[in-house]
Amino acid sequence: MPHAPSSLMLVALAALTIPLVHCKDTKPEASPAASSASVGAASTGASAKAAASVVEPGPARPTHSGPRKVFANAPSVVAVAGASDPDGGAPAPAPTVTPASVGLPTVDFGPPGPLVMKGYPAPIGSGMDDPATVFGYSKDGAEVIACGHMGAGYGDGPPKGTELGDRCYFAAATGPTKIVGVDPDKGVVGPAFAEKITALKGGSPTHVAKGMGVLPPAVVTPWAFARDLTVEVSSDNGLRIGGRVGAEDPVFSVTVSVKPPTPDLQYSGSWNGILASPDRSELAFIGHFFCMEWCNEVSIVRLPLGRLASLIYNDTGFRHHQKKDYAGSRDLFLKATWANPSAALPPYNLACAYALTNDAVNAEKALKLAIAVGGPKVKARAPKDPDFKSVATAKWFVDLTK
């Protein structure tokens, strides 16, 4: 039986393992992991390099009130509902068993159209904070890089090579947000920092001028789920990423926060920038966290469009399932399955819904897909799930789960 989506957590600078947890969990539980980059439905935009954009400054902001203070890093923590990735580092391999190959009903997502986002852009820059002021994808799309003047206080002035900032945060398609910066005491630009600045310049960077209440640029990209979905972000209770299906209430499947180095430091977050990748296959969410003067962190979360859509469909479907609207949950779980065929949780939930609507034929197909993608943990879970009571003695169910 589907329950509240399970969670994974990503801690910056750590390589950890993602557990596969299914829909019988009674509440979300966070467990350490790195981020996923499984690709779902094909995007509709062609690869193209957009011109670098510049956001005009807002009202003048206060300068720092005193000399630089040093704060320990606050690692990024990303909790993603419905975690289904097989490991904590590599992208999920392309599945050899797919919704089409098992014969699941097809779905109609409607014509491609512009991605609509609620909650962004919103003003950034509130005084003594130092958000990233230039960010973007590297030319090949391999990395997302966000840089700014966040931690230096040079007595002899900033060294050459720090025109775009003295600290850069960056993230590959999978894995944690990492940091490289200029040693503020030595004032020396090292090769690792120079490499990130060069990679950022070589892409299509967005420049956001410092100022209070500056608006970062809006997201402009097509995607395959425009008829059904509105993407929604929030800065309440941490930074949250999700969306809504039609006129339904939103679900927030991804929560981004930081782990303070000491309990007395409290961080607030804002969306520094949200970008579409050059090939329009994913979104990069850049969150800025601030606790006091000289105390800034950045977290980068990369979500393939198919995975984001799948999370929204799946978590909305769970709400219907809780209300025993199994026909409604079935239709949403089916869309979640097609949106991201590399995820194990949606087809498992779909199999539950099919069993509860007395559709044993499609329950078999969905469970076969879930086991093929999710492996032994899915196979072990299914016989214990009361949602499969009506098919538990069927030969196909016994054969799939033995």
Question: Which range in 26-40, 103-117, 159-173 is most confidently predicted, on average pLDDT?
Answer: 103-117
Q: What is the tens place of the pLDDT at every residue in 166-191?
A: 999 999 999 999 999 887 667 778 99
Are both 291 and 343 inside the same structural domain? no
Residue of 150, 153, 107 whose CA lies nearest to 132: 150
Could you give the number of structural domains in the chain?
2
Rounded to the nearest integer, the mean pLDDT of the chain is: 81
pLDDT in tens, 182-239: 876 677 789 999 999 999 999 999 999 877 888 999 999 999 999 999 999 999 878 9
In-domain check, residue 323: no
CA distances 184 to 12, 151, 154, 191, 248, Å, are 22, 7, 6, 15, 49
Identify whether 150 is part of a domain: yes
Residues 156 and 284 in one domain: yes
Q: Residues 128-150: what's their mean pLDDT?
A: 93
**Tokens 């491609």 map to which residue?**
112
What was the pLDDT predicted at 71?
A: 56
251 and 345 in one domain?
no
Residue 322 lies in a domain: no
Residue 185 belongs to a domain: yes
- Domain annotation covers residue 324: no
User: Which range of residues forms the domain containing residue 357?
Assistant: 333-401
Pair (83, 135) in one structural domain: yes
Global confidence as pTM: 0.81
Please check whether residues 296 and 391 belong to one and the same domain.
Answer: no
- Is 295 a domain residue? yes
Asked whether residue 370 is domain-assigned, the answer is: yes
In a domain, residue 319? The reply is no
Do 32 and 9 form a contact (C-beta atoms < 8 A)? yes
Q: Are residues 304 and 337 in the same domain?
A: no
Same domain, 245 and 337: no
Please say which residue of 274, 308, 342 terminates a domain: 308
Q: Are residues 164 and 219 in the same domain?
A: yes
d(CA 45, CA 72): 41
137 and 32 fall within a common domain: yes
CA 134 to chain centre: 20
* Predicted local confidence at residue 47, as pLDDT: 36
pLDDT in tens, 78-105: 888 754 443 333 445 667 899 999 999 9
- 253-284 burial, b at 16+ Cβ within 10 Å, e below that, comes to bbbbbbebeeeeeebebbbbbbbbbbebbbbb
